[in-house]
Amino acid sequence: MKEYQFKEGFLWGGACSAVQCEGRSPEDGKQDNIWDQWYREDPGAFYQGVGPEVTSDFYHNYEQLIKMMRECGITSFRTSLQWARIISDRDGAVNRKGIGFYHRVIDALLDNGIEPILCLNHFDMPMYWMEKGGFECRETVDAFAAFARVCYGEFSGKVRRWVTFNEPVITPEQGYLYLHHYPLVQDGRRAAQVAYYIQLASSMAVEAYRQMGCSGQIGIVLNLTPTYCRDPEDERDRQAAYAADLFFNRSFLDPSVKGEYPADLVRILEENQAVPVHTEQELETIRRNTVDYLGVNYYHPRRVVHRSRPLESDTFMPDRYFEYYTPENCRMNKSRGWEIYEKGLYDIGINIRDHYGNIPWMVTENGMGVQDEEQFLNEEGMVEDSYRVEFIKDHLRRLHKAIEEGCNCFGYHMWCPFDSWSWSNAYKNRYGFIRIDINDHARPSFKRSAAWFRRVSDGNRFTD
Ligand code: BG6
């Protein structure tokens, strides 16, 4: 039997996002964001027509869910602050009721011994800014920095760890390339502009944090997907993996940690007339405001091969440089359609150690979404989710090895302590230690994995 011991103070946490757990709750002055709007325009675009109004109802039920999270051994919890709940319009009017809600959540977390980690943006954009072009518009960037200042002014006395953006690459990737997120655009040049302005917004939020003399730490959460090619002996395949890594990992990793864009990424954008509108002063802001730490969301790797035929597309697409493939016999989470490859987490750690100055980092999301968990209900009405424990253990073993080899990782957060709404799959796949019965007023109950995680967290270790 092998024991995996983690260092004192290691964070055993969970993560969610505002839109995915709060519900729309328009009664307290929350304005529409892109999800509310998209759902109104086209409910059929959402899995089983279920939109973000149906959630675990964290907005009303946060006290009970926070107590239950504590029972699961959760010692830190990341959620996001909804911009459209806090700021009411383009003039920056502050909604005191929205602020009051987040104060109550933070206080409840602290009362239960759970460290709050606040994220300023998790895929949400108020409609009043989307109408102006969202992150294609320079004014939105300034407005985001102003929103960040309001949040620091209110909450930084109680909250020591902050995140500017969750998975910033998702908005350009899914919203401006692959048609999975609003505004459903397919245009590589516009995607490049959006990505650049999001990076600038993140750097300006870091700058504001320091200018205001806040005493905690500010980071960014990236969904680093280690990129592997089919044949490492084939130079064309290696180049394909290199390009995909530039587009989807290093486009935010390098400017956020090193303050510089990779020269090869800039060269590719130049070759495709896709260099975003920018100024020297903005690049200087990015250079000067690198993050204190990194958050890493890891679910699956990216597998690529060189392109066999040129991509037929009227617009510039990163896919000009690679194709995706699925290796034979790889392990899959069939519900989600994602490969399970725990070694990817180790590889991320080693990459950060060797190429990014061993900056402190934590796992900010990892987890297993499973369909039809009702089939695993036992006689007492509890979900027997041993597969979730195995999934987490597999990843923790690799994380432990990375730490033994010098990686500077200080925490592990699972997605999501309680079942939450998903952008693409609504309630199809359940991730939680806490089951939410959507058909019974979002009633929460523990799954079997909750007790296991509690023991891991209490002892700072697990055994095989
Ligand atoms: C992460 C996101 O990429 O994956 C979460 O930050 C998301 O918001 C999670 O819910 C799981 O993905 P999905 O699509 O199964 O909900």
ipTM: 0.98
Q: How far apart are the first and last CA of the chain?
A: 6
Average pLDDT on 320-333 reads: 95
pLDDT band, very low/low/confident/very high, at 55 (cuts 50, 70, 90):
confident
Closest CA to 335 of 380, 412, 295, 391: 391
Helices (H) and strands (E) in the chain, counts: 17, 19
pLDDT for 81 beyond 80: yes
Q: Measured from the CA of 167, which atom of ligand 1 is nearest?
A: 6
pLDDT band, very low/low/confident/very high, at 11 (cuts 50, 70, 90):
very high
Q: CA-CA-CA-CA torsion for 274, 275, 277, 278, nearest 10 degrees?
A: 160
CA 123 to ligand 1 center in whole angstroms: 10
Instruction: Give the Cα separation of 277 and 192 in Å (integer).
Output: 9
pLDDT of residue 23: 82
Instruction: Write down the residue that tokens 């980071």 correspond to.
Output: 219
Per-position b or e across 76-114, b if 16+ CB within 10 A of its CB: bbbbbbbbbbbbbeeeeeebeebbebbeebbebbeebeb
Residue 223 Cβ inside 6 Å of ligand 1? The answer reads: yes
Residue 454 Cβ inside 6 Å of ligand 1? The answer reads: no
Residue 80 Cβ inside 6 Å of ligand 1? The answer reads: no
pLDDT of residue 25: 64
Three-class SS state of 393? helix
Give all strands (DSSP E) within 148-263, no chain letters: 161-166, 217-222, 227-229
Q: Which residues contact 293 (CB under 8 A, 6 or more apart)?
A: 161, 217, 219, 359, 360, 361, 362, 410
Average pLDDT on 406-425 reads: 97
Instruction: Give the Cα separation of 436 and 377 in Å (integer).
Output: 13
CA 2 to ligand 1 center in whole angstroms: 32
pLDDT band, very low/low/confident/very high, at 56 (cuts 50, 70, 90):
confident
Q: What is the overall mean pLDDT for the chain? A: 96
CA 16 to ligand 1 center in whole angstroms: 9
Tokens, residue 200: 């600038």
CA 422 to ligand 1 center in whole angstroms: 6
Residue 422 Cβ inside 6 Å of ligand 1? The answer reads: yes
pLDDT for 26 beyond 80: no
Report which protein residue has its CA nearest ligand 1's atom 11: 422
pLDDT band, very low/low/confident/very high, at 167 (cuts 50, 70, 90):
very high
pLDDT of residue 53: 84
pLDDT of residue 97: 97
Q: What is the pLDDT of residues 263-303, one digit of tens each?
A: 999 999 999 999 999 999 999 999 999 999 999 999 999 99
- Which CATH class, in words, describes the domain spanning 3-463? alpha beta
pLDDT for 360 beyond 70: yes
Average pLDDT on 418-437 reads: 96
